[in-house]
Structure formats: structure tokens, C-alpha cells
């Protein structure tokens, strides 16, 4: 008899886990593995690329100059008797700076005084003659013609005395014109005369700069069309220092001269705190030297890579971009200029 070994039947296979249960388990395992899901709000942040007008800033040197320079001139010729100012002095309008003396004027005044004394004696004589003639005319011993002649003689002497006094007044005015006065308040830049020197009428004795100073910029002709009154300027530190804390701050272009000088455009900028500067002192100034259209995007939309920067488009593609200088956006957000890689109309997704 052949013995048969009986086999036990295999147990039925367990049913596969339901998809819903597997998905829950996967969500529980993923955070433990260090992978965090991307927030939907951040992934949906988009930006439409559009060109904007940007300014290219340029550092130039400007000189401190007075708005106006006035010449204190001698009104008569003669010898400088005294010079009361020197370079750097502060003067008021109408202040006496120097005195010019003409040695001929005192002699002419003495001659006129002598003529006036002679005319005074002639007037006394003519007055006595007129009184006697009137008495004789009253008694009938003198004619009316003789009385008229005596009156005329007195009138002629008085007219000559009046003309001589007018001549003396002219000489006195010329003598006063020997005082060289400051035409305006300011600081003395240059003194051209010394005591004892001979000076001609109209010759300058001193140059005075007004108390109002400006920064005068001289730029190449190609920048002329970008300078406008009202444009802001950033002024560096005094003495050409590069310390930011020593900078003077900001100023404003007030005047762009309509005439080019030696191929340069000239402009004046007003800045506070120039009162104690030297005239002609140089200061570093940063201005908008050019305005052009460019693409500027927020810094957060640019992915920094190893040797190359990228930007993600709405289609999901990553495109390499060339980063330019940093430029803040109008709302103050940090931005960067994109030199190449993006075009107007592209839609970016924030990574």
C-alpha cells in the first residue's frame, strides 16, 4: 500500500492596501524624511516682466563757486592812500575798502575857495553900488538906466558865485569818489592794490564773492540732454573723503546754463552747508548722467546658481539671466537689473 502525504492548502493572499490608506501613510512618512511641501501661495506668486526707465548714476567733481562775483573799482584816478581789507575778510555792503587820493583835487578846491572869496567881495561892492543908485534915483539925481545897470551887475556876481559853488560841489563829489566801497556783502577773494600804488579810473581794487555759494558742475556735452533743473544730486564728503558718514547729503540742480563752454555743459547745484568752504574747492557729486529703458525685477525672483543666475518662467522652464547693478524698485523693494535672458512680456514665478 502506498502511503500518501497530504499537503495543507496555502492560506489565501491578503488584499492589497487601499489607495487612500497608502496616501495617508505617505504623508506621514514624508515630513520625517526631511522633505517639506511648497506653500501654494508662494508657488503661485507671479511677475510680468515690463521695461522701466532707470538712471545711470555717475560720480563727477564739482567746484564751490559764488553765485556772483563783484568788483570793487576805483571811480577816480590817483594814488591808493590806504587799503583796509585783505583776502578772506568778510565785508558788508557799502563798507569802505580803500581810499584813492588825487593830489590835484585839494589844489583845485583851494583855487575855487579863493574865487568864491573874490566873488563875495564883488557882491558886497555891487550891493553898495545898487543901494547908492537907488537913493540917487529917489532924489532924481540918477537915471533909471543907471539903476538897472547896478542891479544887473549884482545879479551877474551872484550867478558867478552860484556857478563857482557848483564847481566846488563837483570837486567835493570827486573827492568822495576816492572811497572804494564794497558793492555787496560777501568775502574778499582778491586784493589787487597796495598802499602807494597809482590806480586808474575804473580799475579793480578788490574782488568780492557773495555769501551764497553753489556747486558748479562741468560735464561732457553728451550729458547735456539729461540734466534738468530740479534733478537731485548726492554730494560726498568735504576734502574728497570717501567716508559715508561725512557726506554733505543731497542737493538740487537749480540752473543749467544754455551755453556750452569748451564742449562742456555747465550746471549749478544748491546744497546746504557750503558757507565755510573755500571758493574753488572740489567736492565729489553723484548725478544722473543717463536715462534709459531697462528690465528690473525684484531680487527674490532671481535664483543664484553656481556661476550662473536663473529665473523660473510661468511655463516651468529655467532660463539663465545676466545680472546687472542693484536698483531699488519704486516701492523700496530690493531689485536687480537684468541685462539679458528676459524680454518684455515674460511671466516669472517666484522660486
DSSP 8-state class, residue 164:
H
Q: How far apart are CA 84 and CA 70, in angstroms?
A: 17
> Nearest 5°: phi and psi at 316?
100, -10
What pLDDT is recorded for position 156? 94
Q: Would you say 235 and 285 are in contact if contact means Cβ atoms under 8 Å apart?
A: yes
Please give the angle made by the CA atoms of 308, 309 and 312, to the nearest 5 degrees.
Answer: 130
Q: Would you say 192 and 206 are in contact if contact means Cβ atoms under 8 Å apart?
A: yes
Q: How far apart are CA 93 and CA 72, in angstroms?
A: 11
* β-bridge pairing 78-83 and 179-181: unpaired
Please give the angle made by the CA atoms of 141, 146 and 148, to the nearest 5 degrees.
Answer: 130
Cell of 98: 580803500
Neighbours of 210 (CB within 10 A): 14
Q: How far apart are CA 97 and CA 85, in angstroms?
A: 6
What pLDDT is recorded for position 275? 66
pLDDT tens for the 351 residues of the chain, in order: 444 444 444 444 444 444 443 333 333 333 333 333 434 444 448 888 888 888 777 788 888 888 888 899 999 989 999 999 998 888 999 999 999 999 899 999 999 999 999 999 999 999 999 999 998 888 888 889 999 999 999 999 999 999 999 999 999 998 888 999 999 888 898 998 888 889 899 999 999 987 678 888 888 888 777 788 888 888 877 765 555 445 667 888 888 888 888 888 898 888 877 766 777 888 888 887 777 888 888 888 888 877 788 888 888 888 899 888 888 887 778 888 888 888 888 888 888
- Residue identified by cell 521695461 is 51
Q: How far apart are CA 302 and CA 312, in angstroms?
A: 8
DSSP H or E segment with residue 310: strand 309-312
* β-bridge pairing 69-73 and 282-298: unpaired
- Residue identified by cell 543901494 is 131
* β-bridge pairing 198-199 and 186-191: unpaired
Cell of 340: 539679458
Q: Would you say 135 and 230 are in contact if contact means Cβ atoms under 8 Å apart?
A: no
Alpha-carbon distances of 349 from 44, 266, 302, 321, rounded to whole Å: 7, 46, 10, 14
Cα dihedral sign, 263-264-266-267: positive
Q: Would you say 277 and 64 are in contact if contact means Cβ atoms under 8 Å apart?
A: yes
Q: Would you say 321 and 341 are in contact if contact means Cβ atoms under 8 Å apart?
A: yes
Amino acid at each position: 500500500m502506498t502511503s500518501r502525504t497530504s499537503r495543507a492548502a496555502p492560506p489565501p493572499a491578503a488584499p492589497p492596501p487601499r489607495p487612500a490608506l497608502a496616501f495617508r501613510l505617505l504623508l506621514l512618512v514624508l515630513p520625517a524624511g526631511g522633505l517639506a511641501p511648497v506653500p501654494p501661495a508662494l508657488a503661485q506668486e507671479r511677475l510680468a516682466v515690463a521695461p522701466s526707465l532707470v538712471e545711470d548714476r555717475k560720480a563727477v567733481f564739482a567746484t564751490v563757486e559764488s553765485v556772483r562775483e563783484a568788483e570793487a573799482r576805483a571811480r577816480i584816478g590817483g594814488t591808493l592812500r590806504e587799503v583796509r581789507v585783505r583776502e578772506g575778510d568778510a565785508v558788508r555792503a557799502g563798507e569802505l575798502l580803500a581810499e584813492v587820493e588825487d593830489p590835484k583835487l585839494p589844489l583845485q578846491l583851494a583855487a575855487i575857495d579863493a574865487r568864491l572869496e573874490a566873488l563875495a567881495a564883488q557882491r558886497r561892492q555891487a550891493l553898495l553900488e545898487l543901494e547908492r543908485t537907488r537913493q540917487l534915483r529917489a532924489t532924481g539925481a540918477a537915471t533909471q538906466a543907471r539903476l538897472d545897470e547896478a542891479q544887473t551887475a549884482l545879479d551877474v556876481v551872484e550867478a558867478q558865485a552860484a556857478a563857482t559853488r557848483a564847481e566846488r560841489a563837483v570837486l567835493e563829489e570827486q573827492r568822495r569818489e576816492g572811497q572804494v566801497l564794497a558793492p555787496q556783502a560777501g568775502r574778499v577773494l582778491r586784493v589787487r592794490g597796495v598802499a602807494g600804488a597809482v590806480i586808474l579810473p575804473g580799475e579793480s581794487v578788490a574782488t568780492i564773492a557773495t555769501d551764497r555759494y553753489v556747486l558748479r558742475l562741468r560735464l561732457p556735452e553728451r550729458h547735456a540732454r539729461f540734466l534738468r533743473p530740479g534733478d537731485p544730486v548726492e554730494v560726498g564728503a568735504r576734502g574728497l573723503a570717501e567716508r559715508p558718514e561725512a557726506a554733505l547729503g543731497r542737493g538740487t540742480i537749480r540752473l543749467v546754463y544754455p551755453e556750452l563752454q569748451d564742449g562742456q555743459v555747465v550746471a549749478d547745484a544748491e546744497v546746504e552747508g557750503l558757507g565755510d568752504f573755500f571758493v574753488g574747492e572740489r567736492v565729489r557729486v553723484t548725478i544722473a548722467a543717463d536715462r534709459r529703458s531697462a528690465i528690473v525685477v525684484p531680487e527674490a525672483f532671481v535664483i543664484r546658481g553656481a556661476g550662473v543666475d536663473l529665473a523660473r518662467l510661468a511655463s516651468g522652464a529655467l532660463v539663465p539671466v545676466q545680472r546687472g547693478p542693484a536698483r531699488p524698485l519704486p516701492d523700496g523693494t530690493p531689485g536687480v537689473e537684468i541685462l539679458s535672458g528676459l524680454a518684455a512680456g515674460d511671466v516669472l514665478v517666484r522660486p
